[in-house]
Structure 1
Amino acid sequence: MKNKKLRIGIIGCGGIANGKHMPSLAKLNTIEMVAFCDIIEEKAKAAAEKYGSENAKYYTDYKELLNDKSIDVVHVCTPNKSHSFITVDALEAGKHVMCEKPMAKTAADARLMVEAAKRTGKKLTIGYQNRFRADSQYLHTVCEKGDLGEIYYAKAHAIRRRAVPTWGVFLNEEEQGGGPLIDIGTHALDLTLWMMGNYKPKSVMGTAYHKLSGRKNAANAWGPWDPEKFTVEDSAFGFITMENGATIVLESSWALNSLDVREAQTTLCGTEGGADMIGGLRINGENLGRLYDTKVELNSGGVAFYDGKQESDADLEARLWIDSILNDTEVVVKPEQALVVTEILEAIYESSKTGKAVYFE
């Protein structure tokens, strides 16, 4: 497929499609966006007019889009509840699929997606774009080299002080499956597991809170939320043990009385060194009987008239995804890895409801 221009269909033309997927795909000369679908026809039409190829089509029924046999790739950018069945249908229709995070609302739904990808032989990946940031890429290389040794303790950070998304269906538990844990905690957990190279959880304890969600006229980055519509947690925390004895602490919030605000970040502690993302990427360790810490310079500047601008995480994600199809290589975010993230998140919610630990077989 190296000399072919891939034909792409977009299912769900809302915020994440307009803010990430379509702008990044539009920068590639190896693809063309030929079809757009949204339950709100005006959104699909607007996307087709802005990003579509000549004679691009738009739909309100995703199955009509999938019936177009000329489409090679589908991007699923819908609410969490519909990720699984749309993805499975797309794979069965012979399309490669990029599905937005989280993989699915439930672990059972995510497993159906993995099974469909294996059954059809089509590529499936999940939109964890934070893996493609410069600091994440550098740190992953450090971890792969073994510079940190055995990573046995880690923290996954997804803390907002007051930044509750008040648009769309973010506050709707039926549509989304949860709040900050499944929305932004999923990014932090994915980063952490990826750095550790560890996808074998043993047990999970978790708590989810509805402490601030009932407040009226609350201070918030996007204006006050409606307490009547806030049906998901405002914060959630997990304590995860892995089969090899490693421990991960996951923290997530949209609204929390904390000044320690960090999102899509990880802290790693290994036998040979550690790393965190506080104020930039920092590596620490011991050398010649002395402790050291160093901040990694990730900008490419320093040359006159060159601003050091690098490819964005979303742009790199899109390019490598398309390259994996054209060259038939492995995707960066493997569906089996995203499944483990979903299993752990689900276990945190379950543990919070029952007050008991959840054990993995």
Structure 2
Amino acid sequence: MKKLKAGIVGCGGIANGKHMPAMKKSGLYELVAFCDIVIERAEDAKEKFGEKDAAVFEDYKELLRLDLDVVYVTTPNRSHAEISIAAMESGKDVMCEKPMAKTYAQALEMLETSKRTGRILQIGYQNRYRADSSYLHKLCEKEELGDIYFAKAHALRRRAVPTWGVFLNEEEQGGGPLIDIGTHALDLTLWMMNNYEVESVIGSVFHKLSDSDNQGNAFGNWDPEQFTVEDSAFGFIKMKNGAVIELESSWALNILDGEEAKTTLCGTKGGADMKGGLRINCIHENLPVVEIPDLSGGGVDFFSGGSKSAGDIEQEHFYDVVVNGREQIVKPEQALVVTRVLEAIYESAKSGKTVYFS
């Protein structure tokens, strides 16, 4: 079995928490190069996950000179495009962490580079590989919910502001909960609907709780002076076929029922939500019925139960795409639309106007 020689650019939280453990566990990759602007992080990653002779760099351009099959871009959002484009132009396939880029223009350049170079570009929307997501998507593909004309994308936390890294830095990230976790919820919702034709977007962002000194935050107190992004954001998206989506996101919001990376769908034949587990609702024999599928394992593509997480399956699927030419589950064209909608919500919030797509 061919193993892919992989380089990691950005050895912070998401690389250590998701990508590198799953790559190592899969046995499909040789982690032979690590890069981080804090060299100690790269060295630590090598010790935990790398081959004995793995190289360590501070400059990603040096890493790209190596003979690698794939490059993982797990840096702050600001540099996703720059590094991904350089990697593809150097002949490597790329796994880039979500969101695709900080701006739509950057994301578009990434897609154009992928097409021009013929290199694979995959975006890290791992929630598509969850058992509930995979099962629900199959139902949607078979049109068992009918025409989905109303949906909600949920990414709500009561008090879980990330206080590490650059999450609170607008220059590095481009925003707060909307671009961080709202992006997952929107990606899931658009994927279920199989609808990427957006007509218009209107949104609002808030900085209502970021200055609070009575925080109750799950990750410890944040520094209000460093909190330069929104603490919550909301958008209303109208599709060209008339369907509508409500997108809600927060790191800090006075709400009891938090829901993250979840979707609610309403169609002409039935509906679905992920509250407390996947629930399908429909009408049978003139009576309202709720179906709760058993997703404990087996019978669902990309999920076999046991110890495999969505992140594990994501790495296996990326390998299959690169080595065996399997069709991508997360297509960069789809991720591009997600980034464009997020940017439109921020733009609408600043201007107070609806943003229309051509």
Indicate the residue corresponding to 2:35 in structure 1.
37
Match of 2:12 in 1: 14
The AA in structure 2 aligned to 1:29 is G
- Is 2:87 aligned against 1:90? yes
Amino acid across the alignment from 2:11: C
Q: Greater CA deviation, 48-57 or 333-342?
A: 48-57
**Separation of aligned partners in 1, 2:48 and 2:207:** 40
Q: Distance in 2 between matches of 1:323 and 1:4?
A: 11
Distance 1:329 1:218 in 2: 46
CA contact (8 A) 1:217 1:225 kept: no
Change (3 A) 1:13 1:340: same
Q: What's 2:224 paired with?
A: 227
Instruction: Report 1:226-245 matches (<5 A).
Output: 226-245=223-242
Query: Which among 127, 148, 160 is matched to residue 124 of structure 2?
Result: 127
- Superposed displacement of residue 330, structure 1: 2.0
Deviation at 1:346, TM superposition (A): 0.3
- Report the 3-state secondary structure (helix = DSSP H, G, I; strand = E; otherwise coil) of the residue aligned with 1:135: helix
Identity %: 64
Alignment of 1:1-361 (within 5 A): 3-68=1-66, 70-300=67-297, 309-361=306-358
Going from structure 1 to structure 2, the CA distance change for 1:188 and 1:328 (only over 3 Å counts) comes to same
TM-score (norm 2): 0.97
How far is the alpha carbon of 1:308 from its aligned partner? 5.7
Question: Are the equivalent residues in 1 in contact too, given 2:177–2:250 (CA < 8 A)?
Answer: yes
* Runs of 5+ unmatched residues, structure 2: 299-303
Which stretches in structure 1 are left out of the alignment for 5+ residues?
A: 302-306
Deviations 1:271-307 (A, max 9, x none): 0000000110000011222211111111149xxxxx9
Aligned length: 353
Match of 1:304 in 2: none
* Cα displacement string for residues 199-238 of structure 1 (whole angstroms, at most 9, x for unaligned residues): 1110001000000001124210011111100000000000
| Residue identity matched to 1:295 | I
CA-based RMSD: 1.2
Q: Which amino acid aligns with 2:181?
A: I
CA distance in 1, matches of 2:94, 2:307: 26
Secondary structure of 1:228's counterpart equals: helix
C-alpha offsets along residues 221-272 of structure 1, whole Å, 9 cap, x if unaligned?
0111111000000000000000111000000000000112100000000000
Q: Indicate conservation of the 8 Å contact 1:321/1:332, yes or no.
A: no
Q: Normalized against structure 1, the TM-score is what?
A: 0.96
Return the alpha-carbon distance in structure 2 between the equivalents of residues 347 and 147 of structure 1: 31
Shift of 1:75: 0.3
Q: Which amino acid aligns with 2:149?
A: Y
Q: What amino acid is the match of 1:71?
A: L
Provide closer, same or farther for how the CA distance between residues 21 and 145 of structure 1 changes in structure 2, counting only shifts above 3 A. same
Deviation at 1:310, TM superposition (A): 4.7
Structure 2 residue identity aligned to 1:271: T
- Tell me the distance in 2 between the aligned counterparts of 1:269 and 1:125: 29
For 1:76, the aligned partner's letter is V
What is the identity, as a one-letter code, of the residue corresponding to 2:26? L
Asked if the contact 2:201–2:238 (Cα under 8 Å) also holds between the matched residues in 1, the reply is: yes
The answer to which of 185-194 and 323-332 deviates more is 323-332
Tell me if structure 1 keeps the 8 A contact 2:28–2:316. Answer: no
Cα distance in 1 for partners of 2:29, 2:354 equals: 46
Question: SS state of the match for residue 78, structure 1?
Answer: coil
Q: Which whole-Å CA distance do the structure 1 matches of 2:194 and 2:230 have between them?
A: 29
Rounded Cα–Cα distance in structure 2 between residues aligned with 1:300 and 1:139: 15
Q: In structure 2, how many angstroms separate the alpha carbons of the residues matched to 1:125 and 1:274?
A: 30
